Structure 1
Amino acid sequence: MVIQNLLDSLPDTTVLLTDGQRQFDRAALAGRVEALAAVLAARSRPQAPVGILADNSPEWLMVDLATQALGLTLVPLPLFFTPQQWAHVIAESGIGALFCADPAQGAALGFDTVRAAGPLALCEASAPRPAPGAALDGVQKLTFTSGTTSAPKGVCLSAAQQWEVARALREGVAPLGLGRHLCLLPFAVLLENIAGPYTALLSGATTICPPLAETGMRGASGFDPTVCLDAIARHAPHSITLVPQMLQALVAASRPDDPRIASLRFVAVGGGKMPPQLLAAARARGFPVYEGYGLSECASVVALNLPGAQRDGSVGRPLAHRRTAIAADGEILVEGCAARYLGQPVQNDPWLATGDLGHIDADGFLYVDGRKKDILITGYGRNVSPEWPEAALLGAGAIAQAMVVGEGQAYLAALLVPAGPAVGAAQLQEAVERANAQLPDYAQIRRWSVVPPLLPAAGLLTPNGRLRRAAIRAAHADAIASLFDQPESIT
């Protein structure tokens, strides 16, 4: 997509971008994008990749559009990464300049010369920096995922791949007439880019992107649902995008038919399996929830429940530009992603193996059953996807987070994070019993242990809230061992 053509096609009078204080219509947005492009073109290495380390703001999106106008690679550095992970991303991608709100932060990462001031300063390194270790031709966005190790992996995406997804989303939600989208996830997370401002721009809608603290995010891993609900009431968006943990907190903090969420027409939820009880509770509160599924390798969204095409328990049908299939071993395959990681060739196989297990019903709705690599094989040879009993636990009340363990053991156990400081052992046991009532004996939880909250900052969750199971097992090895120190037989 040619960015100038997009900007020229937008309505003149609509506020396209706002942080709640400043407003940018088409002319103002186009002018800022043009000015940023001129600054980027004047760099000492004008073709080098550009990094951005910043909170959500209109400027973040303007930088994104400016790099697209010039055909440059943008490398988002998530604020929740560690300094070591930032250093890894910078070294792997060959970033030549960095946009950041605090020049001192840029200097600490080796970008010690301010090329241009502003809400986001453009900082360059006074000393030459190495070129990227791999070719980035045609790569507009190099998005690094946390993966299962401390070294993030770079996913290479073209502008065309990203806008293709946004166009499919625009078509899918068009009947709802969404005119205002409030960004609640970090822009450094690809999902918010695509489902938020990209889709809104194609629709000529308003993107509202205040700093994350104003919408309830607290540092790398905290979330205040009351602040978020107040932000929704204040900005009156038609759409938001959430991960399941955020939805769970919002449901707990809201009331039936809560007036603060009256403006919402579409709440997209992805990033993890959603318990059916949470879906029902959210709807009872008035949240119009639509569950979806995606991967960074596919430029975000692959499938999504939509108005008139929704089935509870599923993640919806594939979007118009995608086809899915199920391999013989149950793995979900997605066609046409052209995925590649930094330093690796483009995959020749037209079908991407996602690593997720699932099934497709007779009407084409996709169901995600769990991660292929996470399947637990009990001591009695029974295969259990841990996400199944975990979803039951999370839907039973009193439990904020849960990880099921039991590979090679006679029974399953769980690490539990209570839903609040007032939740005691008796309430947790009652919740476990409610969950077990929905499960066959081999998938029931026989023992459990309470652990502190599992946080991205500690390396225990991915940015979208998925459990980093190996890291959790290592961090809580003693607690897990204690869950299996009493032999038990299962009939």
Structure 2
Amino acid sequence: MTLPVLEALRRHAGCVVLEDGTRGWHAEELLAEVEALATRLHEGRVRVLATLLDNGVPWIVAELAAAQAGCVHLPLPGFFTPAQLRHALQSAGADALLLAPAHAAAFASLPAADLGLAGTPLAWLRLPAAPVALPPGTTKLTFTSGTTGTPKGVCLGAAAQQAVADGLAQATAALAITRHLSALPYALLLENIAGVLAPLTQGATTIALPLAEIGLAGASSFDPARLHAVVERTRPHSLILLPQMLRAWVGWLRGNTRRAPESLRLVAVGGAAVGAPLIEAAQSLGIPACEGYGLSEAASVQTLNLPGAQRPGSAGRVLPHARLRIAADGEIEIAGSLFLGYLGESAPVPAWWGSGDLGHVDADGFVHVHGRKKQVLITAYGRNVSPEWVETTLRGDDAVAQAVVFGDGEPALSAVLWPTREALPDAALQAAVARANAQLPDYARVQRWCRGARPFDASGGMATPNGRPRRAAILSLHAAALGLAAPALETP
């Protein structure tokens, strides 16, 4: 298979396209590694290559080699539970697994061979999997975390992924970004499209470091001091962050009377609602933070604010590869770079994909996302309220790190709050609620709240791996404190 990214690498021979913290990798060196692994995959008749790897050059080699060999790449996040890993491998029909030695113990019952890839020792396993029917043209399987414990497989083709990478490159051309630091796991679609495919296609340099060096551990533990030190040392022009990572970095800069390094030209933020106060706080500290919006079913990012063309509080304008419209009921619909279908489902993908998100486009073309369609609360007084709207307002306060709002069928809204610092007293959270309520209409104000029993993170079962709250689990844990009925929980 001839891939635009491989053709681009051949054109950029002699250029350093990757840095791994130890050395720079020229385009021709990367191509040699890709060709060697692609040959092994082809000769081994691998159909679906699963990888369980940290960020680094081997992950990128595996991504490109799988496409070159005509097999499907199944990137597995390191933070998936053993049950989620088994589900992903079995449902995808993965017949080969490439993983770091640290993960090999989980597969000790299977025979493994040693494989050196890009100078890194790895384990290579052949899995006893039966072929699984996939939509024609599938080159990547990405698993969305969803709201329950069972991830859902999204089948993507090469053309859709390349379209997003090209659209991002076109939209950001004026920023002259030639150095990108990967701060999110490559197993997350956003980073592997915007942080790997897009820079490599343009001949830019991707800085691929182990996640622990960046300060990210698991799905939710983040050390902003480590990120700041890496940004100062490597001088990237761009990086991508989740909202909680940005919030932590802003708090660290404020607490240490520091500013972000001047090399940064774009810090894209996505994965969940960000809100104007956090974006503006980041920008005041030298972080060129710009919120975007996307979904796995459209091969990642679809809209993005950009320096000089932004509206804090919005998700930005539609990128060149995408088309977006608002349905009669307010749902955002997407076209232009859609997926090929869900794993295990035969339903065809419509020309316009309903995102499940509610929103509107303002007169200047900026897209505003109001929240999930299925999560709209209807109060006992018949008022429709998007909980994400209220939650974003609460998180806009310096005292509130995380907030989840409830109130379907209730006369007033309730919230579970997690403070930005555990030492903050309840009085500080009460004052934050009062400040948020002053910005909201009466029907959307929080009348009752409690402090979270633990952080809303994936390790504790309170959030999905990309940070979205598991609302039923949070309500079940805090129902008594809020005076609400506990929900029935789905079994992962």
TM range, smaller chain: over 0.9
The answer to whether the aligner puts 1:481 opposite 2:475 as a matched pair is no
> Structure 1 residues 222 and 348 mapped into 2: Cα distance closer, same or farther (>3 Å)?
closer
Contact (CA 8 Å) 2:135, 2:340: kept in 1 or not? no
> Which residue does the alignment assign to 1:487?
none
> Which amino acid letter does the alignment assign opposite residue 460 of structure 2?
A
> Which amino acid letter does the alignment assign opposite residue 315 of structure 2?
V
> Structure 1 residues 200 and 170 mapped into 2: Cα distance closer, same or farther (>3 Å)?
same
Contact (CA 8 Å) 1:99, 1:120: kept in 2 or not? no
Q: How many positions carry a matched residue from both structures?
A: 479
Contact (CA 8 Å) 1:87, 1:109: kept in 2 or not? no
Provide the rounded CA distance (Å) in 1 between the counterparts of 2:134 and 2:266: 39
> Which amino acid letter does the alignment assign opposite residue 371 of structure 2?
G
> Which amino acid letter does the alignment assign opposite residue 191 of structure 1?
L
> Which amino acid letter does the alignment assign opposite residue 289 of structure 2?
V
**TM superposition shift of 1:59:** 1.0
> Which residue does the alignment assign to 1:319?
319
CA RMSD between the two structures: 2.0
Provide the rounded CA distance (Å) in 2 between the counterparts of 1:313 and 1:405: 22
The gaps in structure 2 that reach 5 residues or longer are 487-492
> Which residue does the alignment assign to 2:130?
131
**TM superposition shift of 1:204:** 1.1
Helix, strand or coil for the counterpart of 1:423? coil
Provide the rounded CA distance (Å) in 2 between the counterparts of 1:75 and 1:440: 46
> Which residue does the alignment assign to 2:145?
146
Helix, strand or coil for the counterpart of 2:138? coil
TM-score, normalised via structure 2 length: 0.93
**TM superposition shift of 1:457:** 2.0
> Structure 1 residues 18 and 328 mapped into 2: Cα distance closer, same or farther (>3 Å)?
same
Provide the rounded CA distance (Å) in 2 between the counterparts of 1:84 and 1:167: 36
Deviation sequence 1:63-101 (CA, Å, 0-9, x none) = 101111111100011111100000000100111111111
Among 442, 446, 469, the alignment partner of 2:471 is 469
Deviation sequence 1:345-402 (CA, Å, 0-9, x none) = 3634211000000001122221101100111111111111011111111011111100
> Which residue does the alignment assign to 1:37?
38
> Which residue does the alignment assign to 1:8?
10
Deviation sequence 1:207-239 (CA, Å, 0-9, x none) = 001100101112332001111111111111100
**TM superposition shift of 1:62:** 0.8
> Structure 1 residues 384 and 259 mapped into 2: Cα distance closer, same or farther (>3 Å)?
closer
> Which residue does the alignment assign to 1:274?
274
Comparing 182-191 with 444-453, which one deviates more in the overlay? 444-453
> Which amino acid letter does the alignment assign opposite residue 216 of structure 2?
M
**TM superposition shift of 1:113:** 2.2
Helix, strand or coil for the counterpart of 2:334? strand
> Structure 1 residues 38 and 141 mapped into 2: Cα distance closer, same or farther (>3 Å)?
same
Helix, strand or coil for the counterpart of 1:476? helix
> Which amino acid letter does the alignment assign opposite residue 438 of structure 2?
A
> Which amino acid letter does the alignment assign opposite residue 342 of structure 2?
Y
Alignment of 1:320-399 (within 5 A): 320-336=320-336, 337-345=338-346, 347-399=348-400
Provide the rounded CA distance (Å) in 2 between the counterparts of 1:257 and 1:313: 26
Alignment of 1:36-185 (within 5 A): 36-43=37-44, 46-102=45-101, 105=104, 108=107, 111-114=110-113, 116-118=115-117, 119=120, 121-125=122-126, 129-135=128-134, 137-185=136-184
**TM superposition shift of 1:271:** 1.0
Provide the rounded CA distance (Å) in 1 between the counterparts of 2:35 and 2:123: 15
Provide the rounded CA distance (Å) in 2 between the counterparts of 1:102 and 1:448: 45
> Which residue does the alignment assign to 1:305?
305
> Which amino acid letter does the alignment assign opposite residue 310 of structure 1?
Q
> Structure 1 residues 194 and 62 mapped into 2: Cα distance closer, same or farther (>3 Å)?
same
Contact (CA 8 Å) 1:140, 1:159: kept in 2 or not? yes
Contact (CA 8 Å) 1:242, 1:267: kept in 2 or not? yes
The answer to whether the aligner puts 1:225 opposite 2:224 as a matched pair is yes
The answer to whether the aligner puts 1:437 opposite 2:435 as a matched pair is no
> Which residue does the alignment assign to 2:287?
287
> Which residue does the alignment assign to 2:262?
262
Contact (CA 8 Å) 1:257, 1:286: kept in 2 or not? no
Helix, strand or coil for the counterpart of 2:291? strand
> Which residue does the alignment assign to 1:194?
193
Comparing 83-92 with 424-433, which one deviates more in the overlay? 424-433
> Structure 1 residues 429 and 348 mapped into 2: Cα distance closer, same or farther (>3 Å)?
closer
Identity of aligned residues (%): 47
> Structure 1 residues 92 and 293 mapped into 2: Cα distance closer, same or farther (>3 Å)?
same
Contact (CA 8 Å) 1:91, 1:132: kept in 2 or not? no
> Which residue does the alignment assign to 1:455?
457
**TM superposition shift of 1:282:** 0.7
Contact (CA 8 Å) 1:432, 1:445: kept in 2 or not? yes
> Which residue does the alignment assign to 1:488?
none
The answer to whether the aligner puts 1:421 opposite 2:446 as a matched pair is no
> Which amino acid letter does the alignment assign opposite residue 57 of structure 2?
P
Contact (CA 8 Å) 2:357, 2:371: kept in 1 or not? yes
> Which amino acid letter does the alignment assign opposite residue 341 of structure 1?
Y
Contact (CA 8 Å) 2:330, 2:359: kept in 1 or not? yes
Helix, strand or coil for the counterpart of 1:413? strand
**TM superposition shift of 1:136:** 5.0
> Which amino acid letter does the alignment assign opposite residue 471 of structure 2?
R
Helix, strand or coil for the counterpart of 1:150? coil
Deviation sequence 1:21-61 (CA, Å, 0-9, x none) = 12211121111111111222232xx1320000011011101
Helix, strand or coil for the counterpart of 1:390? helix
The gaps in structure 1 that reach 5 residues or longer are 485-491
> Which amino acid letter does the alignment assign opposite residue 270 of structure 1?
G
Contact (CA 8 Å) 1:333, 1:354: kept in 2 or not? yes
TM-score, normalised via structure 1 length: 0.93
> Which amino acid letter does the alignment assign opposite residue 320 of structure 1?
P
Deviation sequence 1:255-274 (CA, Å, 0-9, x none) = 49945422100010111111
> Which amino acid letter does the alignment assign opposite residue 193 of structure 1?
N
Helix, strand or coil for the counterpart of 1:292? strand
Provide the rounded CA distance (Å) in 2 between the counterparts of 1:474 and 1:415: 11
**TM superposition shift of 1:18:** 1.2
Provide the rounded CA distance (Å) in 1 between the counterparts of 2:269 and 2:376: 24
Provide the rounded CA distance (Å) in 1 between the counterparts of 2:366 and 2:83: 41
Provide the rounded CA distance (Å) in 2 between the counterparts of 1:109 and 1:412: 49
> Which amino acid letter does the alignment assign opposite residue 381 of structure 2?
Y
